[in-house]
Structure formats: C-alpha cells, structure tokens
C-alpha cells in the first residue's frame, strides 16, 4: 500500500524529462516493475496518454497474428503531437516510424484517451486542446489563460485520424473538462440496457451524457467527483473479464526525505448510480485489497490496537443530531449526522445518508489518507503524514440516536512485501 523507494540518481524526484515506465499486476494491488519503455526523442518528452489492445489488429502492427498492445502518447517538445508505440509481446515496445499520427492542433494539446467504439468499427481519441485567449492574461503559474476544449477524433486503424467534434469546457481558470480526460460508458444501477457515457477531467470533475461515436452530448452540468485536491489525472482499465471499470489516480502528496515523489491512489471500482440528486459516479476500493490485511479484524477492541498502515470500515444508524468521530493515527474523520457531511482533517464534503444508515471506509498510508462514504458517492483523499509514535485508533459517538452497527479495523501489509 505504501510507496516504494526507487533510485533517485536515475530518475530524480523533481519535475524533469518524462519517460513512460511499465508495471504489471495480476490483482491491481501487487505490481512488478519492468523498467522504462518510452524515452524522450527528437519530438520531445513522453507526456500522458493511454494504451489499448488492438484485438482486431486494425493497425497491422501484429506481423505474426495476434493482437498488439498499442501506446498512444503525447510527444511534448517544440510542438505537442500525438504518437504511437506498439508491442507484440507486451514487453518490448517500438515507436511507430510514421509518428506523429496527430499533428499539433493547438499549443499544448495533450493526453490522448483512446478506445474502440464497436458500433462504428472505429477508434475514438479524446484529446485535451487548450485554445489561448487573446489578451486573456495568465494564470497563477504564469501560463496564458485558455479556453479548455475536448476534441473527439476517429480512426479506422490508429494511424490516420480525423477530428469529428469539439466540446467546449470552460475558460480561464475554470477546469471543467480539463487535461488528462477519460471517457467511458457505464450501466445505470447495473442495468446493462440503460447506459450512459462519462467524460471526466484530471481533477475528478465530470459530465454525464450520450455518445454516438463522434459527438458527446452532455446531459448534466459539471459534477464534483472527489474532494481534497490530491486526486489527479485518473485513468480507467477496460476489457476486464468481469466487466468492472477500475480507476487509478495520481496522488499528489508530499514525500519528504524520500527519494521518490508522490504515489498512485487506491484502485477503485466506479459505477453510475441514480441518487436523489440525479445520476452520480461512485467509487469504492476494489475487493482485492483484502489481500493486504495483516491479521484479524480488531472490531471495537481498540484499546491495545497499534498499526502503521490501517483499514477501517464502519456502519452506523444516524440520529437526528450528532456526530461520529474517528481518530486514525491522529487523522480526524468526523461524520455530522445533522448536516449529512463528512470532514477529513478539516476538508468537508457532502455525505448523504441512505435509509438512515451511513457506511464509511478509510485507508491510512504513510503519506496519505483516503476516505469513502455514502457507498462511494463521497470520496475524500488528502496528504497525511502521521507521527511515527501515533499508531492508535479511537471512535466516539455524540448526539441522540446514533448507533454503531459494525466496526472493522485491520492492520495492513505493504504491497511490496512478497
């Protein structure tokens, strides 16, 4: 669960030249690092993108039959363009000699998300394209303010691309449909006959709507996906055998005195649920994380409990007024029953109750905390570095009618222990 120390002399821990690393996993929890596969070249650094399995070999990259793995990435140098690399064995990758496959549309266009759209038998690329605003000034980082747009491109073979549509996503510092987009279809309440598309931005904001293979039509305004500011640039896995849509995000947290910098947040299954507020995305930690549990469930027997890495799960009946307060290694997680709100170290988020009940899940790592409430409707993730000596957990109920129905507390192992 915690970060792995890597060789700082090779990679550095501050921003610099960007490579693509490579890691594999059988359970999305334990990972094997295989080394770098994309290096900077004459087109620039290796910025973000996505990967697909070309099951029908539309690209022709699989010379001996089979299905190649194709990486679609942004090469960021004097220009910003979209490129390909491919592999027939999933280990050794070759950059396409015809790169770039999408020339620069506007300065800093980046982060191609690509998937196969079966009804039209075409690939779809979802690409962030910022359009500078003439005389619009600069943002807090000194960069020109821009209109944030998402371009939808299509291709029959991953090599040749055509812009099919453009959607506006705000301007200036408004990051609605911003960089590192993801785009995917989900069943509503698990009903495969009723499906909607979700277009998400790097900061977790998203819109829900329809897609016809070329154009996305939003049916919702901007929706908040996560709270806390740590979550960024998430991508989802598709083609899983069980049909789940699993999301992993970059966790922007400090890593003081460490040779590595920041981490990946927990893998979560995302669903689309009908709520009293309308359709909303939910996130819940994947069940494979139980393999990290180290020893028995301590339940409410917390007097002697001490651990560095912790998983806590609780369910309780909510009273008319009051609060449930958790102290997890010094992190304060408070559920206010009258406001239907959760606060994590002062970061507040709406946490509506269902049928008078509330369920909460919390994971505490060495540099972060992740909290899920309201069956995944609420997700808060924050930087958090506990004091070494503080390894206890406590729970206090306040107010009228609030009753704990269940409490499960586990020590966790590192994901890197074999």
The pLDDT of 221-229, averaged and rounded, is: 89
**pLDDT of 170 above 90:** no
pLDDT score at 4: 42
pLDDT score at 225: 81
Which range scores top for mean pLDDT: 9-23, 159-173, 274-288?
274-288
pLDDT score at 175: 52
| Listed residues 238, 268, 285: the one ending a domain | 285
pLDDT confidence band for 257 (50 / 70 / 90): confident
pLDDT score at 139: 73
The pLDDT of 128-147, averaged and rounded, is: 79
- Are residues 240 and 378 part of one domain? no
pLDDT digits (tens, 9 = 90+) for 387-398: 999 999 999 988
Total domains in the chain come to 2
In the structure encoding, which two tokens stand for residue 216, read together? Answer: 């996305």
- Residue 334 in contact with residue 324, Cβ under 8 Å? yes
pLDDT digits (tens, 9 = 90+) for 283-300: 999 999 999 999 999 998
- Residue 134 in contact with residue 144, Cβ under 8 Å? no
pLDDT digits (tens, 9 = 90+) for 348-393: 999 998 777 899 999 999 999 999 999 999 999 999 999 999 999 9
How many angstroms separate the CA atoms of 349 and 326, rounded?
A: 16
3 within domain boundaries: no
Q: What is the CATH number of the domain that holds 383?
A: 2.60.120.560
pLDDT score at 172: 47
The pLDDT of 243-259, averaged and rounded, is: 92
158 within domain boundaries: yes
pLDDT score at 64: 83
- Are residues 279 and 150 part of one domain? yes
pLDDT digits (tens, 9 = 90+) for 73-95: 999 999 999 999 999 999 999 99
| Listed residues 285, 304, 330: the one ending a domain | 285
The pLDDT of 121-139, averaged and rounded, is: 87
pLDDT score at 13: 58
Q: What is the helix (H) or strand (E) element at residue 10, kind and residue range?
A: helix 8-11
pLDDT confidence band for 400 (50 / 70 / 90): confident
How many angstroms separate the CA atoms of 280 and 150, rounded?
A: 21
- Are residues 215 and 314 part of one domain? no
- Are residues 352 and 264 part of one domain? no
Higher pLDDT: 214 or 300? It is: 214
pLDDT digits (tens, 9 = 90+) for 18-68: 899 999 999 999 999 998 999 999 999 999 999 999 999 999 999 988 899
418 within domain boundaries: no
Stretch among 158-172, 234-248, 289-303 having the lowest mean pLDDT? 158-172
**pLDDT of 135 above 90:** no
Phi, psi dihedrals of residue 292, rounded to the nearest 5°: -85, -10
- Are residues 404 and 314 part of one domain? yes
| Listed residues 238, 267, 285: the one ending a domain | 285
- Residue 13 in contact with residue 258, Cβ under 8 Å? yes
**pLDDT of 103 above 80:** yes
- Are residues 154 and 260 part of one domain? yes
296 within domain boundaries: yes
- Are residues 149 and 68 part of one domain? yes
pLDDT confidence band for 418 (50 / 70 / 90): low
Look at the pTM and tell me if it is higher than 0.95: no
pLDDT score at 12: 58
- Are residues 143 and 115 part of one domain? yes
Q: Which residues have C-beta within 8 Å of that of residue 29, sequence separation ≥ 6?
A: 267, 286, 288, 289, 291, 292, 415
pLDDT score at 159: 98
**pLDDT of 118 above 80:** yes
Domain of residue 353, residue span: 289-411
**pLDDT of 9 above 80:** no
Higher pLDDT: 312 or 239? It is: 312
Nearest to 347 by CA among 303, 324, 322, 378: 378
Chain mean pLDDT for the chain: 90
- Are residues 224 and 295 part of one domain? no
294, β-bridge pairs: none
The pLDDT of 117-133, averaged and rounded, is: 94
pLDDT score at 353: 86
- Look-up: residue for tokens 């998430």? 234
417 within domain boundaries: no
- Are residues 304 and 277 part of one domain? no
Q: How many CB atoms lie within 10 A of CB 114?
A: 23
How many angstroms separate the CA atoms of 361 and 409, rounded?
A: 10
- Are residues 105 and 52 part of one domain? yes
- Are residues 326 and 229 part of one domain? no
- Residue 82 in contact with residue 102, Cβ under 8 Å? yes
Q: What is the CATH number of the domain that holds 238?
A: 2.115.10.20
DSSP state of 18: -
416 within domain boundaries: no
């Amino acid at each position: 669960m915690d970060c792995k120390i890597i060789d700082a002399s090779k990679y550095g821990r501050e921003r610099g030249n960007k490579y693509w690393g490579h890691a594999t996993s059988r359970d999305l929890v334990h990972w094997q690092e295989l080394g770098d596969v994309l290096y900077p070249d004459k087109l620039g650094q290796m910025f973000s993108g996505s990967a697909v399995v070309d099951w029908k070999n539309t690209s022709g990259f699989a010379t001996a039959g089979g299905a190649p793995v194709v990486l679609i990435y942004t090469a960021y140098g004097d220009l910003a363009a979209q490129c390909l690399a491919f592999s027939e064995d999933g280990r050794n990758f070759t950059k396409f000699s015809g790169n770039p496959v999408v020339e620069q549309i506007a300065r800093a266009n980046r982060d191609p998300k690509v998937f196969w759209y079966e009804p039209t038998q075409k690939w779809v690329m979802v690409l962030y394209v910022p359009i500078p605003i003439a005389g619009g000034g600069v943002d807090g980082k000194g960069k020109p303010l821009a209109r944030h747009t998402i371009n939808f491109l299509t291709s029959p073979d991953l090599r040749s691309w055509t812009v099919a549509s453009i959607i506006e996503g705000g301007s200036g510092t408004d990051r609605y449909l911003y960089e590192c987009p993801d785009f995917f279809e989900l069943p509503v309440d698990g009903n495969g006959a009723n499906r909607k598309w979700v277009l998400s931005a790097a900061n977790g904001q998203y819109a829900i709507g329809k897609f016809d293979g070329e154009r996305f039509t939003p049916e919702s305004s901007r929706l908040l996906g996560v709270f806390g500011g740590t979550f960024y640039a998430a991508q989802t896995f598709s083609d899983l055998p069980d049909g789940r849509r699993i999301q992993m995000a970059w966790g922007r947290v400090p890593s003081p005195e460490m040779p590595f910098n920041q981490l990946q947040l927990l893998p979560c299954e995302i669903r689309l649920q009908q709520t009293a507020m309308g359709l909303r995305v939910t996130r819940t930690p994947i069940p494979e994380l139980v393999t990290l549990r180290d020893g028995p469930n301590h339940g409410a027997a917390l007097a002697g409990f001490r651990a560095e890495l912790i998983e806590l799960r609780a369910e309780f009946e909510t009273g008319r007024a009051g609060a449930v307060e958790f102290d997890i290694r010094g992190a304060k997680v408070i559920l206010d029953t009258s406001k239907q709100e959760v606060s994590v170290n002062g970061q507040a988020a709406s946490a509506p109750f269902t049928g008078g009940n509330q369920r909460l899940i919390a994971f505490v790592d060495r540099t972060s905390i992740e909290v899920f409430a309201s069956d995944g409707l609420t997700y808060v993730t924050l930087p958090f570095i506990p004091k070494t000596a503080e390894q206890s957990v406590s729970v206090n109920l306040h107010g009228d009618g609030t009753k704990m129905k269940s409490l499960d507390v586990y020590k966790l192992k590192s994901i890197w222990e074999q």
